[in-house]
Structure 1
Amino acid sequence: MSQQRTTLEKDAAKKAAPEAPKTEDAAAPDASRSSTSAPGTPVAGFFAFLGSIIASAWMAFANTIGDSIAFVERWLFNGKKALYGIAVTRIVFGVIAIGLLASNFSTRLYTFGSGSAWNGEIAEPVSDFPKIWLFSAFHAVAANDVAFTLLYIALMLLAVLFMLGWRFRIVLPVFFVMWIGFIEMNDMVGDQGDNMFRIALILMFFTDAAARWSLDARRRAKREWFPEGSSPNQIGTVLHNLALVALTAQVAFVYGSGGLFKAQGAPWASGYAVYDPLQTMRFGTWPVLSDLITAWGPMVAIGTWGSILLQGAFLLALLSRPTRLIALFGILGFHIMIGVLMGLPWFSLTMIAIDSIFIRDRSWKRLSAGIARRWRAAVVRRPADVGGAG
């Protein structure tokens, strides 16, 4: 009996005892299965590093996109840009129109009117513009000398009002229509400056070109139609700035394509292309000056290759202040040389007028303040000198 009781106690103790832990050999397969995903292994570290690189690159890209959008939004909406520059464009364009009309007044009938009928454009214009009724005023009266002269004088008066910025929103469309109709009367006397003039006039419809240095600016100072921050004001700001972007793109196309076209020509690559036109009767308008400029070979090469580099790199050079100064002074000298040496003043002035938008407003204001200060000093000094002389 006692032996049976002892056996039962041993069985109960055996059941109640906890299971022995697995041996190292038994646990080895599980350990090997989990070793590849352990946090401290090289493979896991590599994937963690790669993930952090991708996340950082994505965050940098997203921040760049966000900053770019914010910059564009601020640039478009936070005020009209280049108001003084586009005002200079308006003024110089007016000077160009007045100068061209005045210099051709004595030969207006021979160049554009009834005297030019020999070229056949009165019967069948080369340009499509005179065939459009909106631009056909000059073509309709080309054979009538009196009517043509009256329209000619009216266009000169419009050019004066355009330059002064008087009722610009009304004057600009009328001036644009009449100017295009006039300038397309004789295709033989035009140049590429006419195309840029026309493109810039179209874009000026969307700019506030009379906001500075104009009669409209004086009137607007007394009464503003649309208050700051209003929807019409914001729309006008965006259209103005977008028109400047379009005008900048057009200038970039002209200079960039011009530089690339020159670079592929043998005379330009060889460095003597500047010499050729200055020795022709058509473009060598100042023979003595042309001979002086082209007498030294290295100067011809510098002018040839320099014009290619200047035109090709003009837009990129505007991105920083030091290079912008070099580009603007360089392009100014470039057009002055073309206007003087090659007898193309109106083309050169057109490009100079458009390039004025790349000069900052604060620079124009400093220039204006300096001129006004010297003018006041001269006016004050003059009566004193007259009184002293008496």
Structure 2
Amino acid sequence: MNRLSLTLSRGIARVTESALGPYQSAVIRIGFATTWLLFLLREFPHRQELYGPDGPWGWDLAQQLTSDNHAFTALMWSDGQAWFEIFYLLAILASAALLLGWRTRTASVLFMVGVLSLQNRSVFVGDGGDNVLHLMSLYLVFTRCGQVWSLDARRAARGEAARARGERVRPDRVGPVLWLVLGLVLVGATLAGRFDNGRLVPALLWTVWVGLGLWWAVQRRARSQEPRILLDVIANVLHNGALFVIMAEACLIYSTAGWYKIQGSRWQDGTAVYYPLHLDYFSPWPALADLMSSSGTIMMLVTYGTVMVQVAFPFTLFNRRVKNVLLVLMMTEHAVIAVVLGLPFFSLAMITADAVFLPTSFLLLLGGWAARAWGRLVRRGDGDLTLPPQRAPEESTPGRVGFTA
């Protein structure tokens, strides 16, 4: 009993005292923001047909659907062309801000609003990758995904270094101004009845806005450490819970996909992969598809291998080496899908979801390579977004995060 109690107390302390997986959460932040940003930029010439008020799925049809299913979309606030263009641009800017880690907490909320609004506006546009992005945009709001590899982390590190040298650090002015502007938008939208269709998202937006204001007030005004420590513990618990949900979601996607494939006759006889390779919609490179499908043995191995990897992956989390091998196989499979079947954004979303399981040592090595490559590109020493040598994020002092709205 004593050993069990000790283990339990250590587990609780680990969950509450630190935000686990800082590099994994940074990778999924960068990955999903990049996926959505690239999608918005690629579809910019076609934005009217996909999400515009005059598209095939008209504004009236979208309004009827959202009234029935209560899905949140800010594009239903107005059927004007100007509002659509402004919102599409704001979605691009929010994705770029989240990618760079600028005001990460607010950027993650705006990123979620952009993803949900555009996807719920035209529900028949997209694929499985959009469904993953839809869910992950909600989960990212609860994570502290800007601890490393972000502009927020670099700003916090510079502030710590300045305090260590005894220099006066200028108070943050951008954060409070941004918080005030977004608060006015929330008040206006609520009073105008723009949140009538939605239920969960408006409550989440108000909760985050109030939480950010409380965080700033405690950081700046509290005379004792207890309120700061309490808020830091709550933030850590939310982050660790969201990270666990993201991992569980990835396992659920693979396990359900694998078990459903087992029930299909084409997957049972080893020919399922052959057919999509010969669909015009999924054949951007017909010659490459013909080359792969010319061998029945290769088709059979790929078909059975896909099922086995997807079914086995959740169970391999108990063995680190086997898990890493399957991660390589799954990421390679998605890279092949991106090229051969012409589904780059689906593959990028799934690779990003897989990245949450990557070992920290590999991510540190990858970050070092990226930092050196960026340094050579810009030819200056401070051009990277990595933190300078300092304490690990898990050991950061509560109350020193600052207002990063």
TM bin, normalised by shorter chain, reads 0.7 to 0.9
Deviation of 1:80 after TM superposition, in Å, equals 2.1
- Tell me whether 1:135 sits opposite 2:134 in the alignment: no
- Tell me whether 1:272 sits opposite 2:209 in the alignment: no
Equivalent-residue separation in structure 2 for 1:324 and 1:257 (angstroms): 18
Q: AA paired with 2:355? A: S
Equivalent-residue separation in structure 2 for 1:79 and 1:210 (angstroms): 14
Deviation of 1:170 after TM superposition, in Å, equals 1.6
Encode CA deviations 1:155-190: one digit per residue, 9 max, x unaligned.
111111111111111222222123211122222222
Deviation of 1:270 after TM superposition, in Å, equals 0.6
- Tell me whether 1:88 sits opposite 2:24 in the alignment: no
Q: AA paired with 1:137? A: A
Q: Is the Cα–Cα contact under 8 Å of residues 85 and 356 in structure 1 kept in the other structure? A: yes
Equivalent-residue separation in structure 2 for 1:254 and 1:233 (angstroms): 31
2:123 match: 187
Q: Is the Cα–Cα contact under 8 Å of residues 71 and 120 in structure 2 kept in the other structure? A: no
Deviation of 1:373 after TM superposition, in Å, equals 3.9
Q: Is the Cα–Cα contact under 8 Å of residues 80 and 237 in structure 1 kept in the other structure? A: yes
2:250 match: 251
5+ residue gaps, structure 1, are 1-61, 381-390
Q: AA paired with 1:172? A: S
Equivalent-residue separation in structure 2 for 1:176 and 1:102 (angstroms): 17
When residues 375 and 217 of structure 1 are mapped into structure 2, their CA distance, relative to the original with a 3 A threshold, is closer
Equivalent-residue separation in structure 1 for 2:142 and 2:314 (angstroms): 23
Q: Is the Cα–Cα contact under 8 Å of residues 271 and 300 in structure 1 kept in the other structure? A: yes
Deviation of 1:220 after TM superposition, in Å, equals 2.0
Please, what TM-score do these two structures have when normalized by structure 2?
Answer: 0.71
1:110 to 41, 49, 56: 49
Q: AA paired with 1:310? A: V
2:142 to 174, 188, 206: 206
1:161 match: 97
Equivalent-residue separation in structure 2 for 1:104 and 1:379 (angstroms): 29
Equivalent-residue separation in structure 1 for 2:69 and 2:152 (angstroms): 31
Encode CA deviations 1:305-339: one digit per residue, 9 max, x unaligned.
11111111112222223202211101101211222
Equivalent residue pairs, number: 317
Equivalent-residue separation in structure 2 for 1:160 and 1:268 (angstroms): 40
When residues 318 and 99 of structure 1 are mapped into structure 2, their CA distance, relative to the original with a 3 A threshold, is same
Deviation of 1:350 after TM superposition, in Å, equals 1.1
Equivalent-residue separation in structure 2 for 1:322 and 1:82 (angstroms): 18
User: Helix, strand or coil: the match of 2:335?
Assistant: helix
Equivalent-residue separation in structure 2 for 1:234 and 1:182 (angstroms): 34
When residues 189 and 73 of structure 1 are mapped into structure 2, their CA distance, relative to the original with a 3 A threshold, is same
Equivalent-residue separation in structure 2 for 1:379 and 1:149 (angstroms): 33
When residues 123 and 373 of structure 1 are mapped into structure 2, their CA distance, relative to the original with a 3 A threshold, is closer
Q: Is the Cα–Cα contact under 8 Å of residues 134 and 177 in structure 1 kept in the other structure? A: no
- Tell me whether 1:215 sits opposite 2:214 in the alignment: no
Q: Is the Cα–Cα contact under 8 Å of residues 105 and 144 in structure 2 kept in the other structure? A: no
Q: Is the Cα–Cα contact under 8 Å of residues 143 and 239 in structure 2 kept in the other structure? A: yes
Deviation of 1:63 after TM superposition, in Å, equals 7.0
Q: Is the Cα–Cα contact under 8 Å of residues 141 and 147 in structure 1 kept in the other structure? A: yes
User: Helix, strand or coil: the match of 1:206?
Assistant: coil
Q: AA paired with 1:112? A: Y
When residues 84 and 131 of structure 1 are mapped into structure 2, their CA distance, relative to the original with a 3 A threshold, is farther
Deviation of 1:208 after TM superposition, in Å, equals 0.6
Q: AA paired with 1:278? A: L
Choose 1 or 2 for highest CA Rg: 1
Q: AA paired with 2:75? A: F
Q: Is the Cα–Cα contact under 8 Å of residues 164 and 215 in structure 1 kept in the other structure? A: yes
2:110 to 171, 174, 177: 174
Q: AA paired with 1:123? A: D
Q: AA paired with 2:369? A: G
Q: Is the Cα–Cα contact under 8 Å of residues 127 and 184 in structure 1 kept in the other structure? A: no
- Tell me whether 1:122 sits opposite 2:121 in the alignment: no
Equivalent-residue separation in structure 1 for 2:294 and 2:14 (angstroms): 49
When residues 299 and 67 of structure 1 are mapped into structure 2, their CA distance, relative to the original with a 3 A threshold, is farther
Q: Is the Cα–Cα contact under 8 Å of residues 126 and 187 in structure 1 kept in the other structure? A: no
Equivalent-residue separation in structure 2 for 1:301 and 1:238 (angstroms): 45
Deviation of 1:290 after TM superposition, in Å, equals 0.9
Deviation of 1:230 after TM superposition, in Å, equals 2.4
Q: CA RMSD in A?
A: 2.8
Q: Which moved more, 1:292-301 or 1:371-380?
A: 371-380
